[in-house]
Amino acid sequence: MDGSPDPDLRPDRPRIFGIGLNKTGTTSFDQAMTILGLRSLHDGGTDVHNAVKLAIDDDVPLLSHVDPRWDVFSDIGLLSRRFRMLHTQYPGSRFVLTTRPMDKWIDSRRRHVERNIALHAAGEYDGTFLVIDEEKWTNEWVHHMERVHAFFDGRADFLEIDLTANPEWGPLCRFLGRPEPEEPFPWVNRDRAIHGTDQSEGHPC
């Protein structure tokens, strides 16, 4: 051992960033990355949110206070909205925009809020995602998509994919330069989505 840092854990190394909004197949994306042998962080909860927020406040690279072992990040709003900064701070990274038809995305969010309201009434939910605001959500969707498309137009380090339409390994594996696994693609909430009861994929940030 020469005491040199492990290059696989170098904090400024390229990463893979899922920059789709929540409820666009981010859970499936996360599990697919794990199957491909990557260390994938989905959502991360309050600790990761606070770590990224601290980096923003300190004006340092966004992952400065996050465990360096992670290769992939998804469903972390403070990161996915700052894809321009990530592109500059982590050269060579790749960006995946998971998407789905906007009307289905809004419907999924609406049902998520309805579940939260019921859980809140039962004393089982203490979060803040309790208001249905389809106009605000529509604006959020359009604004995010416009910004992403404007920035990544024509770039080879960007992939847009709808995992809810035809989940398969090909596009992701070609984009990441990895062989396709033999096991089926992990569409985590497929049965629930078909029956209109799909569950939350993380929480809005």
| DSSP notation for 21-72 | PTTSSHHHHHHHHHHTT--EEE--HHHHHHHHHHHHHHTS-TTTTS-TT--E
For position 57, what pLDDT does the model report?
Answer: 97
- Stated as kind and residue range, the H or E segment containing 158 is strand 158-161
Which residue in the block uniquely carries the two structure tokens 């049965």?
191
Is residue 197 scored above 50 in pLDDT? no
pLDDT over threshold 70, residue 111: yes
DSSP state of 98: E
pLDDT over threshold 60, residue 130: yes
Mean pLDDT of the region 94-120: 95
Looking at residue 9, its pLDDT comes to 81
Mean pLDDT of the chain: 89
| Residue 193: CA count within 13 A, CB half-sphere | 19
Residue % of the chain over a pLDDT of 70: 88
Return the ∠ at Cα 200 (arms to 100 and 173), rounded to 5°. 50
Q: Which residue has the higher pLDDT, 103 or 2?
A: 103
Q: Is the pLDDT of residue 205 over 60?
A: no
Q: Dihedral sign, CA of 14, 78, 33, 156?
A: negative
CA distances from 157 to 55, 124, 128, 154 (A): 24, 42, 35, 9
The token duo for 146 is: 């416009």
pLDDT band of 192, cuts 50, 70, 90: very low
Tokens of 83: 């894809």
| Token couple for 105 | 């995305």
* Residue 76: other Cβ atoms inside 10 A: 27
pLDDT digits (tens, 9 = 90+) for 154-170: 999 999 999 988 889 99
